[in-house]
Chain A
């Protein structure tokens, strides 16, 4: 639906699952194309352009792939639990670790961050939707299509088996004869569209659609970090797209980009991959930094310590992140000058990262710490990420890195960074924002189990890998041999076994989260309006928010606007006292509700356009005519999209509903 009437008084206190919509009879667009109008049921999800629904779909997709990627990881650990493992054969093992990394990076952490960004960024800046709602929907469907294509290879003769870094020439048709790499390259190109469109969309949204009074330096820190990430995506994704494009041409059309005999240099791929790949690390971890920078102040009852430092260190990481890619290539034979330069740049990037850890610690310092599950995960992130960061410093030292790279020490390092950093932040976000998204609180008791099992499991899994790596166990080996495992009780066999046991405990921890979701969904207890005594704008609306997010767009005077509407400083003691409850703040907003709100209308075209892409991909792999069919589907969808106005015109709606024209139209009318 496109036009929302002023909500009935009181709806702010009674969360509505489906916003009540006025009756709509859409006109056919030029006699042929009737646009979707469903507000409930599966159609309301398939054709939605609502940033919140898309955010949830991003999240659900990501969670699904998290389970897939996790099971792949468990299989890897089972294979390596004992010497000469027989759980998987060499071929399957290679596919497994390739797909584990691909899934976790491209299909879990990135979309999960995109989900949180989609859901909360417009809420945090007081907007009613993103700038380009249909492109937003298109992005999500591309991600899903890409994820499906990448995984489809399992059923078509084996998944990609070259490692997620897919170094040439091992990724060529001769060395990887199954179609796995083709599916991988094409699937990731499709999924990359999601990142690119999402980046443009969110950047435009942040720059243009902030609530009145919200200057950039009053923006919530999560929004800031997401913005930095979108800029990273905007510049990094084209690089990997080019690389994947070259790879696809090499494999499907006999191009010679990485063919040494034809005069090529295989290091080209490594440069392309890591120019994307290193910013990608920050793309993965900065959203989580943003999440815990929201969570820590809320549960410390204190503002983020050194907000400008956190903002600028985030931006600095974003910039310097472009100058460190070759630290993944210290052993590649770049020559001492390049190695030295990149070694120093890598040390430099440790500084802004360290600033964040200091700021988080000082945010807690002197606060009033409430250890909810969200807070536990946030504190867990500080500790675990510090370990990962420090092991990272040890291999910014290039000579030392030549001993460590491609061993389990690196595996330990980046799992502390990505599991301890990115995933702990995401789980913190789950617990913190669940009541906002679903109107129900995740069970804290189960949450505690979830947290402690994950912390113990994660440390048991990845901690021993430091020892394994430093004692010389390389990565990506489908078997390890006892002959090189050393002697003594604490030999490499022991630590491999511990790591495998740890992975089971970790799985149990994740299982508790899944159980928690089910328990919470079945519970009838509704969350209070402001369960955490939160600080930012996304809490200044109902749980879950109404389709139009805010009854009236708040005017922002403070960083932590919501908190400052609830509390005032006592001039003598400098402590804070409550002056209004959340309900009162909301009632105030509702009093000034906008009468007539134009929201973007649902559309068929994003999903149809995205559906054409896997057809093209399959066609490129198997038969060009199929690709032409896919192209025609896309052409049809683009045409339909171009014909359709973003917001259905007023004639689409009942006469009775267009009685007032003093409505507040949001800027979400493009795209």
Chain B
């Protein structure tokens, strides 16, 4: 009648009763310890009663389960998720969210696995059913995550090492991928374990590199650029600006059919206006319309073209407030470009030339070069 469980709980209940009485007599009455012990006693009575009633959960009339529950990783992962969740409350929200996702995913997998194991008597069918249900979700999600981690790690490596090392690293890595891929293609009979082993080593290598890269931080140039606002350093003088003129040589202006090409050659500024046979000193452009000029520097010194946009808010560079005004003069300019390079400048002139003070028409000049200007006429 009394089985092991019932005996255990009844014994514990008795032990708790003895304890409670002893505490009340020997320690003190009406203290917190007494309350706690009486609660424990009450709880144990309840549990004992329940165990007695269900006869230790033993049902002799039903046959014992023959199919054993298989090993599962979900309890472990759920526990990890739970730990992360709790840890996140203290450490950071990121852990909390990540832990929550892991926990929910693990519970879902757990549920489906638990269901599938009792779905039918055929274990093979049960496993098939589980796969059929979960693979459509598992595969894309795991692939996305895996690829994301690898790509992210790779980007960390590339950001940490210097530009030249980056080129080398990229070439080496792609050559490696190609070589390994070719090997797999040539030897289709390779053991799956070997193939996956190689892949895992590669992935782990990249992830490790990524972690190292994150530790090392951005390379100095990038860190500097990230700290600066590109346009806040725009300067239109003849001297080299620290940031604005960085890598000006690499700026291309592959635009056809522009309003005019402004050329600096032998210290003279001329405008090559499509349609005019001779070089011009004046360019007529429509009002209120974005027009593009290309500046070509044939001078041996590094030069920039400066567009004077009038005293009033008569004209503005297309990038609007970003370029802004420089002191009292309303102007915009290209970068400082070396000999043979070219750059484009897009400007909208909203007011006609007659709105300007006659002495100071709209012009295109070159910083540091006196007496040379192309007049921009806006009818």
Contact = CB atoms under 8 A, between A and B. Distances in A.
Contacts of B132: 30, 643
A333 B137 CA distance: 52
Interface string B134-160: 011100000000000000000000000
A261 B257 CA distance: 15
Nearest to A31: B119
Interface of A: 30-31, 260-263, 265, 333, 335, 638-639, 642-643
* Most chain B CB neighbours (cut-off 10 Å) among A30, A333, A643: A30
A335 B256 CA distance: 10
Nearest to B139: A642
A333 B318 contact: no
A263 B318 contact: yes
Contacts of A261: 290, 318, 346, 348
Contacts of A642: 135-136
A639 B129 CA distance: 14
Given A30-B132, A333-B257, A643-B132, A263 B137 contact: no
Q: Give the top 6 A-B pairs by smallest Cβ distance, nearest first.
A: A642-B136, A261-B290, A261-B318, A260-B290, A639-B136, A30-B129
B307 to A, nearest CB: 16
Contacts of B133: 30, 643
A31 to B, nearest CB: 8
24 contacts: A30-B119, A30-B129, A30-B132, A30-B133, A31-B119, A260-B290, A261-B290, A261-B318, A261-B346, A261-B348, A262-B318, A263-B318, A263-B346, A265-B255, A333-B257, A335-B256, A638-B136, A639-B136, A639-B137, A642-B135, A642-B136, A643-B132, A643-B133, A643-B136
Nearest to A638: B136
Nearest to A261: B290
A260 B290 CA distance: 7
Nearest to A641: B136
A335 B348 CA distance: 25
A262 B132 CA distance: 50
B200 to A, nearest CB: 26
Nearest to B116: A30
Nearest to A645: B132
B335 to A, nearest CB: 15
A34 to B, nearest CB: 16
B326 to A, nearest CB: 21
A641 to B, nearest CB: 9
Contacts of A260: 290
Contacts of B135: 642
Contacts of B290: 260-261
Contacts of B256: 335
B343 to A, nearest CB: 12
Given A30-B132, A260-B290, 19 more contacts: A30-B129, A30-B133, A31-B119, A261-B290, A261-B318, A261-B346, A261-B348, A262-B318, A263-B346, A265-B255, A333-B257, A335-B256, A638-B136, A639-B136, A639-B137, A642-B135, A642-B136, A643-B133, A643-B136
Contacts of A639: 136-137
A30 B348 CA distance: 66
A333 B136 CA distance: 52
A335 B290 CA distance: 22
A642 B139 CA distance: 12
Contacts of B137: 639
Nearest to B130: A30
Interface in B299-352: 318, 346, 348
A260 B318 CA distance: 10
Nearest to B128: A30
Nearest to B318: A261
* Most chain A CB neighbours (cut-off 10 Å) among B135, B255, B257: B257
Interface in B34-67: none
B108 to A, nearest CB: 13
Contacts of A262: 318
Interface string B216-253: 00000000000000000000000000000000000000
A31 B313 CA distance: 72
Nearest to A335: B256
Nearest to B289: A260
Contacts of B119: 30-31
A642 B255 CA distance: 49
A254 to B, nearest CB: 15
Contacts of B255: 265
A652 B124 CA distance: 19
Contacts of A643: 132-133, 136
A149 to B, nearest CB: 27
A260 B257 CA distance: 13
Contacts of B136: 638-639, 642-643
A402 to B, nearest CB: 17
Contacts of B346: 261, 263
A642 B134 CA distance: 10
A613 B318 CA distance: 38
A357 B290 CA distance: 50
Nearest to A262: B318
A601 B372 CA distance: 80
A261 B318 CA distance: 6
Contacts of B348: 261
A603 to B, nearest CB: 15
A261 B135 CA distance: 49
Nearest to B290: A261
Contacts of A265: 255
A30 B125 CA distance: 11
A335 B274 CA distance: 13
* Most chain A CB neighbours (cut-off 10 Å) among B119, B255, B290: B290
B334 to A, nearest CB: 14
Nearest to B344: A263
A642 B290 CA distance: 52
B177 to A, nearest CB: 26
A260 B289 CA distance: 9
A260 B255 CA distance: 12
B315 to A, nearest CB: 13
Nearest to B112: A30
B137 to A, nearest CB: 7
A335 B346 CA distance: 22
A230 B348 CA distance: 47
B230 to A, nearest CB: 16
A42 to B, nearest CB: 29
A243 B362 CA distance: 38
A428 to B, nearest CB: 45
